[in-house]
Structure formats: C-alpha cells, structure tokens
Structure 1
Amino acid sequence: MKSVIKVCLGIFLVVAFCSPLVFAESKVVTCQGKYVMGDLDTKKEAKALALMEAKRAALEQAGTYLESSSEVKNYELTKDEISSLASGVMSVEVLKEEWKMSGENLMVTVLIRATVDTSNLKARIAALKDNQESVEELKNIQAQLAALQEELHALKAQRTEEISGKQRETPKREIKEKYVAITNTMTALDHLKSAEAAMANGRLEEALSYYNQALSVDPNMAEAYAGQAIVLKRMGKPHKALKKIDKALELAPSSARAHSIKSLILAESHRYTLALNSINKAIELNPKNPRFYFGRGMINLKSKRPRLALKDFERACRMGAPKACKQAKTLAQRLNTQKNSHQRPIPFRRPPVHK
C-alpha cells in the first residue's frame, strides 16, 4: 500500500526551497524543485515538472520582493501585473540536477538560480501599464498550467485506484498517452511563458530561443509562431516574420491576436491595404480590444487617412487606452491647424468620466 501512496503523491511531492541573496540593482535566489516519479513518469517528464516547480517558487519570491519595493508600491500594481513584471525581470539558470531513491521510487531534485533585475523599474512598469495584453497573456498561460495540473492529478488518482492492492502493471496505453500529452503541453506552455516575459523586456534572442523550445515540444503551438513573428519583426526581419505569422494563422485562423500581429508586419512594409484587412479581421473577432482600434488608427494615419485615424484613436480612448487618448488629442490639434475653408474645426472628444 506504501508504494501506491508514493505513486499517488508523485505530482504533488514537489518541494521548493529558496535562499535569497541581494546585490545592488538585483536580487538572486536559489530555488529547488523535487519530484518523486510514479509509474506513469519518464525521467524527462519528471525533470520538467521539478524545474517548473522551482521556477514557480522563484517567481513567487521575485513577486514578493518587487511588491515590497517602494517604486512598485507607488504604482499600485495589481497581483497579475506584479506577476507579469516579476516574470519579465527574472532570468533563470539551472545549477544542478540530482537523482536518488526516495523509498521505492526515484526522485529528481533540480536546483536553479534566479536573478531579478531591478534596474529601470519605472520604465518597465510604464511599459507594462501600456501593454495590458501581455499581462492577460501571462494570466491565461498560468490558468492553463493550473488546469493541466488538475488533470495530471486526476490521472494519478485514477492510476492509483487501478493498481490499489494489486501487483504493479504497465499503465494502460490510453492513460499513458494522455499523461504524456498533458506533461508535454505543460512543458511547452512553460517555455511560452518564459518567451513572452523575455520579449516583453526586450530580450529578443532569449525570447526566440524559448519559442523554439516550446515548438520543439509542441510543433502545433500557434501562440509560439505568433511570438516568433513579433520577435523577428522587432529584429528587422519582416519577411521571416510574415512566414511565422502565416503559420500561426494556419493553425489558429480565429486568433484575433495573430491577425493583429500580421497587420503590424504588413504596415511596416507599407502594405497598408492588406494591413487594414488583417486588423479589421482582428476587430471582427474581438471588438472589445482597444489596442486593435489603436492599431487600425496608426495604419490609417500612415496611409494618409487622418480623419479615419482620429475616429479609431477616439474609440480606443473611450475604451480606456491612455496612449490612444494622447494620440487623438495631438491629431485633432494638428487637423485644426489646417487652413482649409471647407473644413470645420475638429474637437477632441474626451471620453466620458465614469464615477
């Protein structure tokens, strides 16, 4: 019966221990994650799950440290924003991997060093506030990981029931296949989370490496191709970026984000008609995202349609996008200076204040 309990506890016998060190503009913590294998696990899966737990513990420590910072306190960040900020300023290095027996089961311990870079926090927080989409992306990834963790627990419990009181047998094929699929998805999502955080903080080469790792585990992860497209665009490689985003849309044709990213790539290449088609599709799929209206406004502005651009900026402004409000005000003032007797002054329509 003891062996059954050990198998059942496999996914949850993950212990994290962190030791902090503080330097001049950085905080370093060493964290370890432990995972006891069950008969559904391989060494590869066990190592990945232990590493994820160590990184989760390090992220928690980083968030607590940042939350206590006077700079962060001044901005009154939400829990999700602090988590996103911590992900972006933290880099991880694996220091050690150790395997040993724990009772009748094999246990892996992964030791990592996480460095939290606290330089330029004000600029990073300002960028974070201006890009709530990245906060939502991270929140979505974390929610998916939590749901998959529950699925893994259910499979472990199911396996325990099957072998309870019996001699251990080879797991049923369908259970093993599902278990492998879940752990692979978790590993790919963990790489995706690291990639998104690195990209949000301008570490483009690191982000590209994580996106590649995600795709090596799950070749059909549309979000990773979309992320690669953004990185390649920022690297000044629009043709390669376009190929990546087309692959993302092939896998997820209903992704509003992917259509939006494609519009940015096309606009940068001055292909404004195609860019408008893409951003209009994004808006059709998700009409409540102010960033899409702001994006369409920028395309209209670049393609010499200032009045249409103004309407989009004003709409995005009313939806709560501060950058759009500033752009709308500047554009309205510019248009009002035009000395054209056929034009009436164009007022900047400030969004209503909701009390």
Structure 2
Amino acid sequence: MRGKFLTPHRISPAPHLNPLVRQHCVFGASPKGRGGLAPSPLGGAPAPRGAGRVGMRGRWFDCADQISDNTSMGSLMSSMKTRQRIFSALIGFSMLFVLSGNSNAAEKIFIKEYTYQASEIDSKVTSRAQALEQAKRLVLEELGTYLISKTEVKDFAISSDKITVLTAGVVQTEIFDEKWDGKEYYLKARITADPDKVAKAIDKLRKDEGKTKELEDAKKRADDALEEIARLKAELDVVKDDKSKQLEYANTVNTLSATDWFEKGLAFGKSEDYDNAIEAFSQAIEFEPYYVVAYIVRGVAYNMKGQYDRAIKDYNKTISLKPDYAEAYHFRGVAYANKDQYDKAIKDYNKAISLKPDYAEAYYVRGNAYYMKDQYGKAIEDFNKAISLKPDYGLAYFGRGLAYSMKREYKKAIADSKKACELGDVGGCFLESEMTK
C-alpha cells in the first residue's frame, strides 16, 4: 500500500449518505467492523481503518462501495494534492519545500563559472570536486543577492550567508560546461528558478529549526573540508611523498563530493523524485561510508516508496553509527507503523522521547500508534503533550479531535478540528465540516 500512513489520506464527504452512514465512513466504525480514521504520522490527514479500503493515488477511502463518482469527491481530491508529506517534514533534516506551480514565465537564470588551479597532488577527480564546490557557492550567492534586492527576502531580517544556506535547500545547481586539461579544471554552473517562489520557500524553511540546522550542518561540513584541504595542501607542499597525508587529502575531498550528492538528493526529494533521491544519497554514502545523515534520509526516501524494510535497514545503520540519534528511532518507528507493527513503533517512539524529551513530533506519532491500537486515552495524552510543546501544531489538534470523536466527546472533537483548520490543517477543516453538518 504505497504511501500508507505517510501520504495524504482523505475520506469522501459522501453527501448522498444518511448522517449515520456518513459518520461511520468519516470518523466512526466502518460498516464491516470497528475502524474509523487514524491521523497519519507526519502527513496530517486521517488514514482509514477497517474494511472497504480503496487506494486512489496514495489516498485511502473507506466505505468506498458507498461512494459515488461525483463532483464533490473530485474537488476534494484535487484540493488534497498539495498536502505536505513526510519527506518534507523530516525532523532535523532535509526535505524541504516543493516550489509550487507549473508556469516558468517568471523564471530567471543565474550563471557563474570557476577555474580551479590543480596542484601536484590533485587528480581530475579532486580538482573537479573543488571546482564544483566553488562554482556552486558563487551561483548561490548571486541568486541570494538577487533575492535580497528584488523579493520579500529583504524583509526577513536574516544574513546574506544564511539566505545562501537556505537557498541551497530549495534549488538545484546544474553543471552545463566543464573542461580539464591536466592543470586547470574549468566549470560553469547555473540555477534556473522563479525568485518569488524561491523566496516563499525560504520563508517557510527559515521557520523550521530542524530543516535549517540540517542545511547549516551540510554547509559547515563543506567549510570544514575546504579548511582541511588547504591545511593538507600546505603540508604536502613540504613533504610531497607523505602517503598517509595524500590519502587524508583524497578522503577530505571525498567529503565535498558526498555533500554535493547529499544536496542533490535533498533537491530530488523535495520534488518527490524518490528514485533519483535514493541514487544520490547512495552516491553520497559511497564517497563517505559513515555519513550518518545520508542513511537516514535515504531511509525516508525508501519509506516514501513503500519499501519499509529497506527504510528500516537504513535506520538500523544510522543507529549503529550514532546510537543516541533520536530522529533515527522516530523514523524507524514510522516505518514499523507502516507495516502495522505498532508495538515496535511505540517502542522506538519511547526511545526517541527518552533521548529528546521535547520532541513534539515523536509524541504526535506515538499518539497515532496508540490511536491505531484503539487506545484513545493514551493517544489524547500524547497529542496533549505534542500541543504543549508546539502550540501551533495543527496536526496534533486534528489527531486529538479524531481521538475525541472515537470517544464520542464530539464538542471537544469539533473544537479541536476547528483549531486545526485555523492552523491550516486541511484535514481539520474537513472533519469540522463533517461533524457540524
């Protein structure tokens, strides 16, 4: 079931059904047994439970045999297309924001070139890696300067360096010309993007501390690698035949290549091209086998493709490299939940929370797991905690509203769905509409 528990899920309004049957289909028991809706862990909308499921492009409809093909369903499905998915909600990492819209009328092209002067210890590979890093920086800086002067970014009150860092998480840098003559590596890079859309994506991104930190960490990795490369070059100028330092130099340059592939993977991920994202993250890991973050984001890409066992394998590797990594337990728990292994999921969520007590998202997904186990009281407790840690957490209000509805506390359910709607959660708006009919 591709995207199960992760992708947008919706229930048809089924306006032709009587109120009782509509209630069964939306938030009560399914006609063939207990069921209802389970809020998906990071995708936000409910995942139907019980019999009678029909998959439609990753969205699941309960009571499907009772739902006619009508305009309201089509409109509902259309309105769900922009629903945020887990790949854009990775805690502390990647996965950023898709630039919406199909028109390229407002796109601009930014081009920069760089020539790297190879030293005696450089090969074509090490020369290209360093030329690529510098060319990317130049073109990102040029785009950043344009954003500051021509778009709403000028009002964000953040430094130009930070704008460059955030921009790297929003756009793809394309290399369209390169030459190597044994002494110099020439490379030309360009970015094609709609500046206004980039500005809006940056505005969203800067408000997410986890994603911002992930990009800042990637930038720091590259900065540190460049400093180390400069140091090793200076030492090798004195002792050219030091094999250990030559190996260290090559490995440090590999860090630049790994970071480049990692950033490519993020860009593929935000455009939901998970096959290429997986390939890019795999390349990053090939250059740097202990690249912890690359394993976890590749796991998320596998998760989005419904390849949960592969995702779990990557999360296991992450945990073996960094046993105190709360996010790895969190996302392994999500993978287990996708396999309907809720006890294993809860165990991982417990571990994530023990490592990071203020982890609102971990409380939220644990609440979902309890919901799926029909433990609505525990689910509500976790949604309460998530909301206390993150008061504007629309998904948590929505999940709590669903749990209240299962306990037949409808006034509370309506209040929570209304709050979720006010916070921009589409599922909350729909649930409120259904419950107040």
TM-score by length of 2: 0.62
Q: Cα distance 1:203–1:65, how it changes in 2: closer, same or farther (>3 A)?
A: farther
Residue number among 90, 93, 98 corresponding to 2:179 in the alignment: 98
Letter paired with 2:209: Q
Q: CA deviation at 1:45?
A: 0.5
Higher mean C-alpha deviation, range 245-254 or range 271-280: 245-254
Secondary structure in 1 aligned to 2:390?
coil
The alignment status of 1:150 with 2:220, answered yes or no, reads no
Residue number among 99, 102, 105 corresponding to 1:24 in the alignment: 105
Residue number among 390, 393, 397 corresponding to 1:320 in the alignment: 390
The alignment status of 1:37 with 2:107, answered yes or no, reads no
Which residue of 1 is the match for residue 353 of structure 2? Answer: 283
Q: CA deviation at 1:122?
A: 8.1
Instruction: Give the whole-Å Cα distance in 1 for the aligned partners of 2:207 and 2:191.
Output: 26
Secondary structure in 2 aligned to 1:89?
coil
Secondary structure in 2 aligned to 1:312?
helix
Instruction: Give the whole-Å Cα distance in 1 for the aligned partners of 2:408 and 2:176.
Output: 67
Instruction: Give the whole-Å Cα distance in 2 for the aligned partners of 1:186 and 1:122.
Output: 27
Letter paired with 1:237: Q
CA contact (8 A) 2:174 2:190 kept: yes
* 1:23-102 aligned within 5 A: 24-68=105-149, 70-72=151-153, 82-83=163-164, 85-100=166-181
Letter paired with 2:363: Y
Q: CA deviation at 1:73?
A: 5.4
Residue number among 299, 316, 325 corresponding to 1:255 in the alignment: 325
Q: CA deviation at 1:76?
A: 6.2
Deviations, residues 161-204 of structure 1 (Å, cap 9, x unaligned) = x26xxxxxx43112111111211122112211232243234342
Q: Cα distance 1:333–1:198, how it changes in 2: closer, same or farther (>3 A)?
A: closer
CA contact (8 A) 2:124 2:180 kept: no
Residue number among 217, 223, 230 corresponding to 1:140 in the alignment: 217
Which residue of 1 is the match for residue 425 of structure 2? Answer: none
Identity of aligned residues (%): 25
Residue number among 157, 168, 172 corresponding to 2:242 in the alignment: 172
Which residue of 2 is the match for residue 9 of structure 1? Answer: none
Residue number among 377, 387, 391 corresponding to 1:307 in the alignment: 377
Secondary structure in 1 aligned to 2:172?
strand
The alignment status of 1:331 with 2:400, answered yes or no, reads yes
Q: CA deviation at 1:49?
A: 0.7
Please, what is the CA RMSD of the aligned residues? Answer: 3.3
Instruction: Give the whole-Å Cα distance in 2 for the aligned partners of 1:310 and 1:80.
Output: 42
Which residue of 1 is the match for residue 262 of structure 2? Answer: 192
Q: How many residues align?
A: 311
Secondary structure in 2 aligned to 1:322?
coil
CA contact (8 A) 1:67 1:73 kept: yes
Letter paired with 2:272: G
Instruction: Give the whole-Å Cα distance in 1 for the aligned partners of 2:177 and 2:339.
Output: 46
> Structure 2, unaligned stretches of length 5 or more?
1-103, 420-437
Q: CA deviation at 1:207?
A: 1.9
Instruction: Give the whole-Å Cα distance in 2 for the aligned partners of 1:183 and 1:230.
Output: 27
Instruction: Give the whole-Å Cα distance in 2 for the aligned partners of 1:319 and 1:78.
Output: 28
